[in-house]
Chain A
Amino acid sequence: MKLALSLTARLTLLFVLVSSSVLIGLGWLLNAAVERHFIEMDRGLLEGKVEVLERLLASPPQAGEIQALDDAVIDMFRSDPELKIFVQTVGGSLILAPPDLPFPEQAIDRQRVDQADMIFSWRNGGSRYRGLATTMQTALPDLAPLLVVVAINIDHHERFMARYGRTLSVFIPVAAFLSGLLGWWAARRGLSPLHLLQERAASVTASQLDRRLPEESVPRELKGLARELNRMLIRLEEAFRRLSNFSSDLAHEMRTPVSNLLTQTQVALSRSRTEGEYQETLASNAEELDRLSRMIADMLFLARAENGLSLPSIEEIRLHDEIADLLEFYDALADEAGVRLQASGRAVVRGNRLMLRRALSNLLSNAIRHAGQGGQGGQGCEGGEAGEVRIDLAEESAVVSLIVENSGDPIPPEVIPMIFDRFYRAESDRPRHEGATGGLGLGLAITQAIVHAHGGHVSVTSGRAGASFRVTLPSGKSGGNGVRESDAPKNLANRP
Chain B
Amino acid sequence: MKVLIVEDERKTGQYLQQGLTEAGYTVDLSPDGVEGLHLALTESYDLMLLDVMLPGMDGWQVLETLRRNGRDMPILLLTAKDQVEDRVRGLDLGADDYLIKPFAFSELLARVRTLLRRGRTEPEPTTLRVADLELDRLGHRATRGGERIDLTAKEFALLELFMRRQGEVLPRSLIASQVWDMNFDSDTNVVEVAVRRLRRKVDEPFERRLIRTVRGMGYVMEDEPEA
Contacts and interface: CB of A to CB of B under 8 A. Distances in A.
Interface of A: 279-280, 282-287, 289-290, 293-294, 296-298, 300, 312, 325, 328-333, 335-336, 354, 357-358, 361, 365, 437, 488-496
B116 interface: no
B180 A329 contact: yes
B181 A332 contact: no
A329 B182 contact: yes
B85 interface: yes
A491 B217 contact: no
B82 A300 contact: yes
B187 A437 contact: yes
Contact of B184 (A279, A331, A495): A495
A378 B185 CA distance: 32
Contacts of B107: 495
B194 interface: yes
Most buried by A among B103, B183, B194: B183
Given A437-B192, A495-B177, 13 more contacts: A283-B215, A289-B102, A293-B102, A330-B190, A358-B186, A361-B182, A365-B187, A489-B84, A491-B87, A492-B184, A495-B184, A495-B185, A496-B87
Please give me the 7 A-B residue pairs with the lowest Cβ-Cβ distance, nearest first: A286-B216, A283-B215, A491-B84, A283-B216, A365-B187, A329-B180, A489-B84
A190 to B, nearest CB: 54
Contact of A286 (B85, B88, B197, B215): B215
A493 B182 CA distance: 10
Given A283-B215, A287-B216, A357 B84 contact: no
Given A488-B85, A491-B87, A358 B187 contact: no
B215 A491 contact: no
A389 B102 CA distance: 35
B12 interface: no
B193 interface: yes
A282 B97 CA distance: 28
A490 B216 contact: no
B60 interface: no
B42 interface: no
B126 interface: no
Contact of A437 (B103, B181, B189): B189
B184 A332 contact: no
Given A489-B84, A490-B84, A290 B187 contact: no
B30 interface: no
B83 A491 contact: yes
A281 to B, nearest CB: 10
5 contacts: A279-B215, A284-B215, A297-B100, A361-B187, A493-B183
B104 interface: yes
Contact of A489 (B85, B102, B188, B216): B85
A437 B216 CA distance: 11
Contacts, number: 94
Nearest to A490: B84
A357 B181 CA distance: 10
B36 to A, nearest CB: 23
Contacts of B215: 279-280, 283-284, 286-287
Interface residues of B, number: 35
A489 B84 CA distance: 6
Nearest to A366: B187
The interface residues of chain A, by DSSP majority, are classed as: helix
A333 B85 contact: no
Interface string B143-169: 000000000001000000000000000
B98 interface: yes
Interface string B85-108: 101100000000110101110010
Contact of B190 (A332, A491, A496): A332
A293 B106 CA distance: 14
A330 B182 CA distance: 11
Given A300-B82, A491-B84, A354 B216 contact: no
A87 B100 CA distance: 116
B187 A293 contact: no
A357 B184 contact: yes
A469 to B, nearest CB: 16
Interface in B191-208: 192-194, 197
Nearest to B102: A293
Nearest to A364: B187
Nearest to A489: B84
Most buried by A among B84, B87, B100: B84
A92 B184 CA distance: 115
Contacts of B82: 297, 300, 491, 494
A296 B102 CA distance: 9
Contacts of A293: 102-104
B185 A325 contact: no
Interface in B114-149: none
Nearest to B104: A290
Nearest to A313: B84
A290 B103 CA distance: 9
A284 B216 contact: yes
Contacts of B193: 332-333, 335-336
B104 A354 contact: no
A296 B103 CA distance: 11
Given A361-B184, A493-B183, A496-B183, A332 B194 contact: yes
A325 B157 CA distance: 14
A358 B84 CA distance: 17
A361 B192 CA distance: 16
A496 B97 CA distance: 9
A357 B98 CA distance: 22
Nearest to A275: B227
A297 B185 contact: yes
